[in-house]
A and B are shown apart, each in its own frame.
Chain A
């Protein structure tokens, strides 16, 4: 013990030098500080933007209920949408939104999964070379173009096929089908590619056929990824405004069938947003629609998280 003390004393002068040198800020430590500062600043701004958007939409959206004293239940279950006359039943739009969303997802999913299987298992080379760029292109086409094509092609086609105006849920479904197909496909491709190669090998080595391997091993272990893809597709369909507005007919009435004009939350928003005065009931009612959209997208996000977590658990030991 004593000896150590002695040695320490002897080195005191030297250790003082070390002391200063090791506490001294250098270029490296300053860079760390600056880098950290920048990223905290950015994240702070983003949090601020998101939080204020949530606050803004929520406070505006609930004004219908707090200021105009419309009951929440009436808003959600009423079928009569005439804000000028104080009638704000949002059910037709809610039903319209869910109808086009689910219909588009149901139609698109088999095509998307089939395409993804082709791209990953049946012909990976062609998939990568031709289909991948095609799908990326489909993602990049602006929605107004889809809507325009829907208006010019699908609506007249439906009119010809089943009569009526041609505007309606079915036309919106077809437009959305094309719009969500690339989303679902490309995410499904990612999740199929993420299936470990050794699952496939194990299955083939046991004498299982390619089809059995794909359907019972690969698709099975990619299930959570595929579900996530479908939900993302649905979120996109649910939130799509312009293209839907162009083909659905925009009649805020309860849809009786798939071929009569209807409307969705988004199409009603874009249709009505220009005609209302800030602070009045018609304006507040539109904010309430926006609030529903916001809550729904939070809900879709929550589902995706739950699925991802469950998928993870399955692959852990």
Chain B
């Protein structure tokens, strides 16, 4: 039986140095029909760092993440404000396609299209109006290098993406996202379907990528959060309970619910 924890007792740091923030949510709520799934989410994400969102299944971390680039449109109702470059992007008039070009997303299950490796990357670029072959080729190479996949696939760019291993597919999905030159990258448990060796490769890739991108990653795996993230937010039943630099969070959690989660009492 899960212990009852007070949702009043939270320890959310603000990281409110405005100049170095990539994104921020203000009193964000998410509803699936009648079901209130996310309560008053206030988080700020520092630029060029990895922020991990941790918590048990059903704690709302994926829901939160998907709201950030409006992938919940048509699925859930999201209220409150999402600040991005000083603009509230959670407003009706905002161009969601433009947002998603700047805020990329990688999913839990590697989901390359049933096309060649090249086509997987070129797809979104073409959809975005990029036509010149030389430029496309350059983007392909750069993004595959960025995702640390180039050396493994450079001779086989026309091979089906489905012939790659799970880890390679996931890095292809990362490459596909960064080919659009986003500045924020959202990752929804990108390693949960991967074996440990592939996981290490993806993590190394992310650590390298944070120099250029702001990364927000949902993870089930606390070790992963401690290995790669700079700050860490703990979600519990739709509430954000604690948000702190990762080192502090794991060595000195402030409130009982975080202490118990990190100690492994539930989740």
A residues adjacent to B (C-beta < 8 A): 196, 198-199, 201-209, 212, 216-217, 221, 314-317
B residues adjacent to A (C-beta < 8 A): 69, 71, 97-101, 104-107, 109, 111-114, 123-124, 127-128, 160, 162-163, 173, 176-177, 180
Centre residue among B97, B101, B173 by max chain A CB count within 10 A: B97
B residues less than 8 Å from A196 (CB atoms): 111
Of the residues A207, A208, A315, contact of B114 by C-beta under 8 Å: A315
What is the interface of chain A mostly: helix, strand, loop, or mixed?
Answer: helix
Q: A207-B101, A208-B97, A209-B97 are in contact. Are A202 and B111 (CB under 8 A)?
A: yes
A201 to B104, CA, bound (A): 12
Cβ contacts A to B, 30 pairs, < 8 Å: A198-B107, A198-B111, A199-B111, A199-B113, A201-B111, A202-B112, A203-B123, A203-B124, A204-B100, A205-B69, A205-B106, A205-B107, A205-B177, A206-B100, A206-B127, A206-B176, A206-B180, A207-B98, A207-B100, A207-B101, A207-B124, A207-B127, A207-B180, A208-B97, A216-B123, A216-B127, A221-B113, A221-B114, A315-B162, A316-B162
Would you call B107 and A201 a contact (CB within 8 A)?
yes
Q: A316-B162, A317-B163 are in contact. Are A206 and B111 (CB under 8 A)?
A: no
Nearest-CB residue, chain B, relative to A210: B97
A residues less than 8 Å from B163 (CB atoms): 317
B residues less than 8 Å from A221 (CB atoms): 113-114
A residues less than 8 Å from B98 (CB atoms): 207
Closest 6 CB pairs of A and B: A207-B101, A206-B124, A205-B105, A198-B111, A207-B100, A208-B127
Would you call A206 and B104 a contact (CB within 8 A)?
yes
A316 to B105, CA, bound (A): 25
Of the residues A201, A209, A316, contact of B127 by C-beta under 8 Å: A209
A residues less than 8 Å from B160 (CB atoms): 317
Centre residue among A203, A207, A315 by max chain B CB count within 10 A: A207
**Nearest chain A CB to B46 CB, angstrom units:** 23
Would you call A205 and B100 a contact (CB within 8 A)?
yes
Nearest-CB residue, chain B, relative to A211: B127
Q: A201-B71, A316-B162 are in contact. Are A208 and B111 (CB under 8 A)?
A: no
A203 to B105, CA, bound (A): 10
Nearest-CB residue, chain B, relative to A314: B114
Nearest-CB residue, chain B, relative to A196: B111
A216 to B97, CA, bound (A): 16
**Nearest chain A CB to B109 CB, angstrom units:** 6
**Nearest chain A CB to B75 CB, angstrom units:** 10
B residues less than 8 Å from A207 (CB atoms): 97-101, 124, 127-128, 180
A residues less than 8 Å from B106 (CB atoms): 205
B residues less than 8 Å from A216 (CB atoms): 123, 127
**Nearest chain A CB to B37 CB, angstrom units:** 18
Centre residue among B98, B106, B124 by max chain A CB count within 10 A: B124
**Nearest chain A CB to B186 CB, angstrom units:** 8
A314 to B69, CA, bound (A): 31
Nearest-CB residue, chain A, relative to B71: A205
A197 to B9, CA, bound (A): 39
Of the residues B101, B113, B128, B180, contact of A202 by C-beta under 8 Å: B113
A residues less than 8 Å from B177 (CB atoms): 205-206
**Nearest chain B CB to A198 CB, angstrom units:** 4
B residues less than 8 Å from A205 (CB atoms): 69, 71, 100, 104-107, 177
